[in-house]
């Protein structure tokens, strides 16, 4: 499973990505989790199973959700509190819920 986190430059989510990877490993979940710039949305829609958006790019929600719907890729904005706390477990759970509603 591939989880893509998109933010303004693909850098501010790096600590969250590390914590999500640890949470996945602790639960024996095989997952490729990485952060990318929002400008890479089209490529990530082709290669990712789920996309999570950093709260700082919420203003692009309409455009990004429309693209994700056309690509049939689950997408959501990361819970702001979980993002701020860099809660890898909670954000991993959010991604898993999108994949298995």
Please state the pTM of the whole predicted model. 0.93
What is the pLDDT tens value at each position of the chain, 101 positions in all? 999 999 987 566 888 999 999 999 999 999 999 999 999 999 999 999 999 999 999 999 999 999 999 999 999 999 999 999 999 999 999 999 999 87
Of 6, 7, 78, 95, the active-site residue reads 7
- Structural domain boundaries of the chain? 2-99
Q: Known catalytic residue: 7?
A: yes
Beta strands in the chain (DSSP E): 2-7, 32-37, 50-53, 75-77
Annotation: CATH topology of 2-99: Rossmann fold (3.40.50)
């Amino acid at each position: 499973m591939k989880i893509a986190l998109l933010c303004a430059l693909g850098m501010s989510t790096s600590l969250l990505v590390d914590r999500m990877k640890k949470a996945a490993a602790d639960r024996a979940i095989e997952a490729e989790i990485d952060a990318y710039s929002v400008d890479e949305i089209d490529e990530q829609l082709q290669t990712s199973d789920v996309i999570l958006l950093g709260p700082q790019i919420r203003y692009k929600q309409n455009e990004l959700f429309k693209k994700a719907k056309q690509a049939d890729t689950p997408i959501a904005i990361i819970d702001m509190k979980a993002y701020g706390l860099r809660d890898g477990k909670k954000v991993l759970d959010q991604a898993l819920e999108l994949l298995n509603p």
